[in-house]
Amino acid sequence: MPDIGSAELRVLLPVLAPLLGALAVLLTDPYLDKGRPKLPLVYIALGSLMAAWAALGFLWGDRVVAWSGALAADRFGLYLGFAIATAAGLTVLSSAGYARKMGVDCGEYYSLLLLATAGMLLLAMANDLLMVFLGIETMSIAVYCLAGITRERPRSVEAAMKYFLLGAFATGFLLYGIALIYGATGEVRLERIAHHAANRPLLLAGLGFLLVGFGFKVGAVPFHMWAPDAYEGAPAAVTGFMAAGVKAAGFAAFLRVLLTAFGGEAAAAAWAPALWMLAALSMIVGTLSALAQTNLKRMLAWSSVAHTGYALVGVVGGGGVAGNGSAAVLFYVLTYSVMTLGPFLVIALLSRAGEEFEQIDDLAGLARRRPVAAAALSLFLLSLAGIPPTAGFMGKLFVFRAAIDSGWLGLGVIGILATLVSVYYYLRPIVLMYMREPRAEFNASEPTDWASHFAIGVAALALLLLGVLPSDAIAASLESVRGLW
């Protein structure tokens, strides 16, 4: 029986805040008028996320391990925890208007968002394999439901179904991997697994299964097939949250497992070539597939696959604790979560009642009608393309540099080539927005959605800040990786 002292509760705070928020949403919703906008739910959600933010900030510091070593509040987890909480907050802000347009302005929506956030934060702090599983499931089940929440739209339901089926399949792999690792070592705690020699087939087989599970969550080729369909079908705000939050949380756990449980030299030498392959495939397939897309959300889905590849480049070139690669991944995922959320916020803003704004061709002439949205979208796309002075450039620079420094020249070259090709599909929407005559009608007549604009503004500002003055964030990422032990 663990002693439930204050340390245990403190560590749990970031997870508890959105969890209690979700319950509060469920308790409040039935008392609200059906026809009116459900602003109290937005306030509760925002409040609980701010509380989570505050809890993360409060825990920022030395490593605290609690719950018999199952949870670790260290900078490593908290670093991406900030990204997760921020992404969730911006999603909620954008949802205030969007959920109403889509007719899903209800308690489930916000409570699922908060539950998913709780799962993500749990995942980011999970320090044993069971907790990893618990976090992944809490996050995933909520996100499956969110993907299908606009149940009037067949594609949304299809997305949820596919995501769920394949997710369950991948979870099976993950669980089997955990079981094998437990079988080989008798341990589920990450740092204890590290004490066992890594060259045993059973342990390595377990690691292989784990990679399948994590690869699925972060959308690495060949475990990525769900991503385009799920991203396209899910409502835009949810897609943005999926792309930013799920990936950030997935990478947090992925990286922590690799660095802590399999961070030894022998183990790293075993998984590096496998991840090399995943990274290269993700970059190539993601970039090539994105080229041919006509749907903005689908294009961004493939782009997110490619970006998983870029982040994996940093994982491969991690160089263990001493190298900068792992820190580069943290920084990369932080910037990526902001810059991938951004376009979806814009899509959510531009969508009309019950109808998603998602065809790339519809962007034609947007700059004329909605200059702010067009400018913000351009900034996000430029950042995704990795063009200075945006954060995307700094992230790519940091990751590729780390890989090349630790001798993975080939991977760096593939990454740079993929980046070059990717410029084509990132710039095309910008060209359309600024140099074509408007084709579609934009909903200029609706009252301005200030919350959404605010969220977009915050994301844009964050990208510029991280791009121009990245020193603090990079320094924090380096500290985070060092603080892992």
Q: How far is the CB of 350 from other proteins (least distance, A)?
A: 25
Question: In the bound complex, what is the minimum distance in angstroms from residue 256's beta carbon to other proteins?
Answer: 20
With contacts defined by CB under 8 A, name the span among 84-92, 225-233, 250-258, 443-451 that binds other proteins: 225-233
Tell me the residue type at 206: G
171 near other proteins, rule: CB under 8 A:
no
Of the pair 29, 128, the CB lying nearest other proteins is at 29
Binding piece for other proteins, criterion CB under 8 A, among 22-30, 246-254, 256-264, 450-458: 22-30
Cα 75 from Cα 88, distance rounded (Å): 19
Beta-carbon contacts of 21 under 8 Å, excluding residues fewer than 6 positions away, are 44, 45, 47, 48, 49, 51, 114
Number of residues that bind other proteins (CB under 8 A): 56
Per CB under 8 A, contacts with other proteins among 85-104 are: none
The correct pick among 437, 444, 447, 471 for binding other proteins (CB under 8 A) is: 471
**Helix (H) / strand (E) containing 64:** strand 64-66
Binding mask 251-270 for other proteins (x = CB under 8 A): -------------------x
**What is the C-alpha to C-alpha distance for residues 74 and 273, in angstroms, rounded to an integer?**
29
Contact call for residue 474 and other proteins (CB under 8 A)? yes
CA proximity to 338, closest of 380, 277, 290, 387: 380
204 sits near other proteins (criterion: CB under 8 A): yes
Only one of the segments 130-138, 142-150, 160-168, 236-244 lies at the binding site for other proteins (rule: CB under 8 A); that segment is: 160-168
Count of CB atoms situated within 10 Å of the CB of 169:
14
Contact indicator for 103, 112 with CB cutoff of 8 Å: no
**Residue 226: CB minimum distance to other proteins, A:** 6
Does the footprint of other proteins cover residue 17 (CB under 8 A)?
Answer: no
Residue 15 near residue 8 (C-beta atoms within 8 A): no
Looking at residue 334, its amino acid is L
Q: Does 165 bind other proteins (CB under 8 A)?
A: yes
Site for other proteins in 345-404 (CB under 8 A): 397-398, 401
**How far is 261 from 281, CA to CA, in rounded Å?**
25
Residues 6+ apart with CB under 8 A from 166: 216, 225, 226
State which of residues 64, 157, 205, 464 lies at the interface with other proteins (CB under 8 A). 205
Given the complex with other proteins, which of 357 and 425 has the nearer CB atom?
A: 425
Closest alpha carbon to 140 in 275, 67, 246: 246
**C-alpha span between 371 and 373 (Å, rounded):** 6
**CA 460/CA 465 separation, integer angstroms:** 9
- Contacts with other proteins by CB under 8 A lie at 1, 4, 23, 26-27, 29-30, 107, 161-162, 165-166, 169-170, 173, 199-202, 204-205, 207-209, 211-212, 215-216, 222-223, 225-226, 228-229, 270, 273-274, 285, 288-293, 324, 397-398, 401, 405, 421, 424, 469-471, 474-475
